[in-house]
Amino acid sequence: MIITDVNEHIKVKLIMGNGTIKIVSLIWNNRVIPVEKITYRWVTKEGIYPIFHFAISSGANIMEIHFNPVKLQWKIDRIHMEG
């Protein structure tokens, strides 16, 4: 497993409703990356504000992303690739 730190802004296409979230795809470096499923989710804090983290699968890769609701920003943190 190869883990690469990324820390770049992304755009996220998602569906929200009834207290759930489904991440459909990411746009990163002008590429659309389909998301198969959310494999894990957790919340950390930046000061008093929550940061929502997701581990998502796309093919054989797992990506860690997060959403900052104060800044209204999504970022990709790292990629776990088969190798």
Q: What is the pLDDT of residue 4?
A: 95
28-69 pLDDT, tens digit each: 999 999 999 999 999 999 999 999 999 999 999 999 999 999
Give the pTM. 0.92
| 33 alpha carbon, distance to own chain's centre | 11
Average pLDDT over residues 1-9: 95
- Where along the chain do its domains lie? 2-81
Q: What is the pLDDT of residue 1?
A: 86
Average pLDDT over residues 20-25: 94
Judged by phi (left if over 0) then psi (alpha if -120 to 50, else beta), residue 35 lies in beta
Residue 3 has pLDDT above 80, yes or no: yes
Q: Do the Cβ atoms of 81 and 61 come closer than 8 Å?
A: yes
